[in-house]
A and B are shown apart, each in its own frame.
Chain A
Amino acid sequence: MIHYLFKRCLILLATLIVASLVVFVTIEVVPGDPASFMLGLNAQPDTVNALRAELGLDQSRLQRYLSWAGGLLKGDFGISYTYRTPVVDMVRDRLGVSLPLAMYALLLSVLIAFPAGVLAASRRGGVGDTAIMGVTQLGLAIPNFWFAMLLVLLFAIKLTWFSAGGFPGWDSGFFVAMKSLTLPAIALALPQASILTRVMRSSLLDVLNEDFMRTARAKGLSKRAALWKHALRNAMIPVLTILGLQFSFLLAGAIIIENVFFLPGLGRLIFQSIASRDLIVVESVVMLLVFAVVLVTFMVDLAYAWVDPRLRGAR
């Protein structure tokens, strides 16, 4: 396990270094100079040069990569070209919206998918199973931003139960803030819940065919007891994997959903930064999201190897 852990950590580190190089190089080839962009057309050349020096743009590419990547390690994401404030402060504010939103959506999708998957598997081929499978088929086909618009139409415009967008901030109270995240979280959760329900069902069906399930029934357990005591725990491994992988889809999906609901999260920050050519913010936010995805994948791999020692040898 120690050897495996060491190898995985090395791979994690290498992935992050290469990913940061890819992000840096991709965004650095942008034509145009942020300093002259910020100062406008009529800026004096020496003013532009002074600003370039201040932003560190006069250094070589390699020096800038090293100071950017080194800063990331220390939690210093640089200074925003547009707002002249530390990027890390902007990101921290926005994470306060994006992260709770993603976790809220993950929670909802688990709360929907677990009972639905268990129900579908235990009534395989029945009416309940067919209905649940039909709904998940639909859930996979609906773009979440369109579902979000339908939710707004019904719950915000027709019924006026929720506001159509915006975020009041955590200062206005936990429940007020959570309420404004509810429609976005439902919209985000729909496709994920559909996938998770299907994985839960097929994983349970696999386990229900195992010999030990017959043994459990033979020793006198009722169908229900066998399902809860033996089948569920064994069916969890693929479900947890998918759950981990979904995190990246939730983060990426949140970028679009935040735009539908005008939420001040990372997604809107990225789009505003692209529009104002605030490339250091784009770089840092993309890198942060990649880091989150890589880290979650890493932890899922570790959890896998911990549960099933056979996987430690394989790649």
Chain B
Amino acid sequence: MKLRNILPGTLLVFLFFSAALISYLWTPFDVALIDIKARFKSPDTINWLGTDHFGRDMLSMLMVGARTSIAVAIVAVGIGMLFGVPLGLTAAAKRGSWLDELIMRANDLVFAFPALLIAIMITAVYGPGAVNAIIAIGIFNIPVFARLSRGAALSIWKRDFIQAAKVSGKGAVRISSEHILPNITNLLIVQGTIQFSLGILAEAGLSFVGLGTQPPIPSWGRMLADSQTLIYTEPQLALYPGLAIVLTVLGLNLLGDGLRDWLDPRLRHDR
């Protein structure tokens, strides 16, 4: 029933991914170009969305900002999957052992540090920056994927075809990689979409408080932080980056919901 979510979701996500990709080849204006005389311009045929307090073209800033957001979120989800999935699969393969217990307790420990706290600690030590933001969000993603893959893998270990694989002499590593992993890929994709949208929100939040992407590299959170002091006189500057975040995250969430219903038809009738 929710299959209809896939279409608007895909469209929104496609829009922002292509904006980010195109920005590598072409932007309407150079985002490093500061032209104080042309600042606070209203939208017109030259600057479609107007200009900011340095006279930089808002549309170009948003396009490059999309690149920052998406890059940070993708790498952070990648870190989460790269470490989380093997940990979860190991815990499931050795269920009940001290190793399982150790992995799950370590997960609980990381869960006690919200992404923002991890970022604050890393920033206090190594200084703010996009790389440290990626690490902070990535670390936060690890237990999410570890728990998900452990839970999903446990239910697959009970299935008959795993018994058959055991009988044919396959070890835990081969069973995990050849039989368990392909069967939980759907779940991982759906969770990946959700973590991706959370990553975009987290990056925006970190950049907003100055712990993430540093100027002059444009990022949506940074643009919002800059617009905060100008909100009395130039409220439109706060509008576009915020809308960009909302539409991207909304698109990803709709896509995630749609994918879940599509990949798991049992859920389709409800929720």
Identify the stretch in A70-78, A99-107, A144-152 within 8 Å (CB) of chain B at 4 or more residues: A144-152
Which residues of chain A have C-beta atoms less than 8 A from B125's C-beta? 26-27, 29-30
**Least distance between A34 CB and chain B CB atoms (Å):** 12
- Is the pair A27, B121 in contact by a Cβ cutoff of 8 Å? yes
- In angstroms, Cα B197 to Cα A259, docked, is 23
- In angstroms, Cα B270 to Cα A205, docked, is 8
> What is the interface residue range for chain A against chain B?
35 or more
**Least distance between B225 CB and chain A CB atoms (Å):** 9
- Nearest opposing residue in chain A for B201, CB measure: A143
Identify the stretch in B27-35, B58-66, B111-119, B168-176 within 8 Å (CB) of chain A at 4 or more residues: B111-119
Which residues of chain A have C-beta atoms less than 8 A from B246's C-beta? 138, 141-143, 146
* Residues 189-214 of chain B, each 1 if its beta carbon lies under 8 Å from chain A, else 0: 00000000100010011001110000
Which residues of chain B have C-beta atoms less than 8 A from A142's C-beta? 242, 245-246
| A277-315 interface (Cβ within 8 A of B) | 279, 282, 286, 289-290, 293-294, 297, 315
- In angstroms, Cα B241 to Cα A249, docked, is 23
| A1-35 interface (Cβ within 8 A of B) | 11, 14-15, 18-19, 22-23, 26-27, 29-30
- In angstroms, Cα B42 to Cα A245, docked, is 44
Which residues of chain A have C-beta atoms less than 8 A from B210's C-beta? 271
Q: Is B124 an interface residue (CB 8 A)?
A: yes
Q: A18-B109, A143-B201, A202-B271 are in contact. Are A252 and B114 (CB under 8 A)?
A: yes
Q: Is B76 an interface residue (CB 8 A)?
A: no
Which residues of chain A have C-beta atoms less than 8 A from B197's C-beta? 141
| A213-253 interface (Cβ within 8 A of B) | 248-249, 251-253
Q: Tell me the count of chain B residues lying within 8 A, CB to CB, of chain A.
A: 44
**Least distance between B94 CB and chain A CB atoms (Å):** 14
- Is the pair B231, A252 in contact by a Cβ cutoff of 8 Å? no
- Is the pair A22, B116 in contact by a Cβ cutoff of 8 Å? no
**Least distance between A255 CB and chain B CB atoms (Å):** 6
Q: A140-B253, A153-B231, A256-B208 are in contact. Are A315 and B117 (CB under 8 A)?
A: no
Q: Is B49 an interface residue (CB 8 A)?
A: no
Q: Is A49 an interface residue (CB 8 A)?
A: no
* Cross-interface CB contact of A146 among B116, B232, B238, cutoff 8 Å: B238
- Is the pair A297, B250 in contact by a Cβ cutoff of 8 Å? no
**Least distance between B105 CB and chain A CB atoms (Å):** 7
* Cross-interface CB contact of A286 among B121, B205, B231, B247, cutoff 8 Å: B121
- Nearest opposing residue in chain A for B245, CB measure: A143
Q: Is B224 an interface residue (CB 8 A)?
A: yes
- Is the pair A149, B124 in contact by a Cβ cutoff of 8 Å? no
**Least distance between A121 CB and chain B CB atoms (Å):** 10
Q: A143-B205, A205-B270 are in contact. Are A260 and B228 (CB under 8 A)?
A: yes
Q: A146-B245, A282-B124, A293-B114 are in contact. Are A137 and B109 (CB under 8 A)?
A: no
- Nearest opposing residue in chain A for B127, CB measure: A274
Q: Is A157 an interface residue (CB 8 A)?
A: yes
Which residues of chain A have C-beta atoms less than 8 A from B247's C-beta? 141
**Least distance between A138 CB and chain B CB atoms (Å):** 7
- Nearest opposing residue in chain A for B205, CB measure: A256
Q: Is A87 an interface residue (CB 8 A)?
A: no
- Is the pair B112, A15 in contact by a Cβ cutoff of 8 Å? yes
Q: Is B120 an interface residue (CB 8 A)?
A: yes
- Is the pair B109, A149 in contact by a Cβ cutoff of 8 Å? no
Q: A26-B121, A26-B125 are in contact. Are A137 and B112 (CB under 8 A)?
A: no
- In angstroms, Cα B111 to Cα A248, docked, is 10
- Is the pair B224, A145 in contact by a Cβ cutoff of 8 Å? yes
Which residues of chain B have C-beta atoms less than 8 A from A23's C-beta? 121
- Is the pair B208, A145 in contact by a Cβ cutoff of 8 Å? yes
- Is the pair A137, B245 in contact by a Cβ cutoff of 8 Å? no
- Is the pair B113, A290 in contact by a Cβ cutoff of 8 Å? yes
- In angstroms, Cα B4 to Cα A166, docked, is 45
Q: List 6 A-B contacts (CB under 8 A).
A: A27-B124, A30-B125, A138-B250, A140-B253, A149-B224, A293-B112
Footprint of A on B, CB under 8 Å? 101, 104-105, 108-109, 111-117, 120-125, 197, 201, 204-205, 208-210, 221, 224, 227-228, 231-232, 235, 238, 241-242, 245-247, 249-250, 253-254, 270-271
6 closest cross-chain pairs (CB), A and B: A252-B114, A146-B242, A141-B250, A141-B249, A252-B116, A294-B112
